């Protein structure tokens, strides 16, 4: 998988919030095999003081994707992204501009505005967006090279509420990396996303709030790999009628 010119081996991106302890987070990151984790700017100050979270992340040896979680305007998101680049030393940014306080749906107007500003400033933007094709086109025009459509509201665990829309995105943007972000609750959800042709899955709550986050991280990784292989193998289409798996031609005839 190529993301802004960088080759990434794992198709699982993992969030770092809500884990019972830093040690359990570290275990989940390792068992999942992820190479990219998302980090909110609020988790650590620029001086590295406080919880030592930044030191833990550095020891994991994974790539950091800072995010603008909690921002509700383009201005807030741009300012947060600028600070995140100073703190984490990367041009990568997961761009969130939240428009609805209940379902945390992106404000697509503010999202496109912020994406254009940040792209002009040299950021490599990973936009958390809806599954709308027109919004996707606008984000690509704004300079994004990756799209991150939601599967369902953040933290809901509802899985893929509109698989047809994601399938349409894959057909409409055949050469754009598509990463399902938000709503994944079970390994089967992650597998389904990959079977639809998505390039990767970003999840957090499903692992962090599992009874055993380390085991769930491994389960998600296996599901994503299985789904990707299924898509690559060109799975059979569903049929309305039964079709015998054993050919009837040449069968014995009994009177």
Does an H or E element contain 202, and which? strand 200-203
**Spatial distance between the Cα atoms of 13 and 53, rounded to a whole number of angstroms:** 18
Structure tokens that stand for 235 in this block = 């799975």
d(CA 184, CA 198): 13
Q: Does 182 carry a binding-site annotation?
A: yes
Is 94 one of the annotated active-site residues of the chain? Answer: yes
- Residue 165 is assigned to a ligand binding site: no
Q: Is 91 labelled as part of a ligand binding site?
A: no
d(CA 225, CA 219): 10
Tell me which residue of 162, 166, 157 sits closest to 189, measured CA to CA: 157
Q: Confirm or deny that 155 is annotated as ligand binding.
A: yes
**How deeply is 244 buried, as exposed, middle or buried, from its count of CB atoms within 10 A (0-12, 13-18, 19+)?**
exposed
183 among annotated binding-site residues: yes
Hey, how many other C-beta atoms are within 10 angstroms of the C-beta on 42?
10
Give the C-alpha separation, 199 to 12, whole Å.
9
30, 94, 138, 209: which is the annotated catalytic residue?
94
H helix runs in the chain, sequence order: 22-32, 53-60, 74-88, 108-120, 133-141, 163-172, 187-195, 205-208, 213-232
**Residues that constitute the known binding site:** 155, 182-183, 204-205
Q: Give the residue numbers marked as catalytic.
A: 94
Per the annotation, binding residues for 1-deoxy-D-xylulose 5-phosphate are 155, 182-183, 204-205
């Amino acid at each position: 998988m190529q993301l802004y010119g960088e080759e990434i081996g794992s198709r699982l991106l993992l969030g770092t919030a809500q884990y019972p302890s830093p040690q359990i987070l570290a275990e989940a990151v390792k068992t999942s095999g992820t190479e990219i984790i998302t980090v909110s700017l609020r988790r650590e100050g620029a001086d590295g003081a406080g919880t030592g979270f930044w030191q833990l992340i550095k020891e994991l040896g994974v790539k950091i994707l800072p995010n603008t979680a909690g921002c509700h305007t383009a201005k807030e998101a741009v300012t947060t992204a600028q600070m995140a680049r100073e703190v984490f030393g990367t041009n990568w940014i997961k761009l969130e501009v939240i428009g609805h306080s209940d379902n945390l749906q992106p404000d697509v107007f503010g999202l496109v505005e912020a994406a254009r500003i940040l792209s002009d400033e040299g950021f490599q933007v990973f936009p958390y967006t809806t599954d709308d094709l027109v919004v996707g086109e606008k984000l690509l025009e704004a300079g994004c090279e990756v799209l991150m459509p939601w599967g369902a509201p953040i933290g809901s665990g509802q899985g893929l509420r509109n698989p047809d829309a994601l399938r349409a995105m894959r057909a409409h943007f055949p050469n754009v990396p598509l990463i399902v972000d938000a709503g994944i609750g079970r390994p089967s959800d992650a597998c389904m996303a990959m079977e639809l042709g998505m390039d990767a899955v970003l999840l957090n709550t499903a692992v962090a709030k599992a009874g055993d986050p380390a085991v769930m991280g491994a389960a998600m990784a296996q599901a994503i790999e299985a789904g990707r292989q299924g898509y690559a193998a060109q799975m059979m289409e569903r049929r309305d009628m039964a079709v015998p798996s054993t050919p009837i031609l040449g069968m014995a005839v009994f009177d």
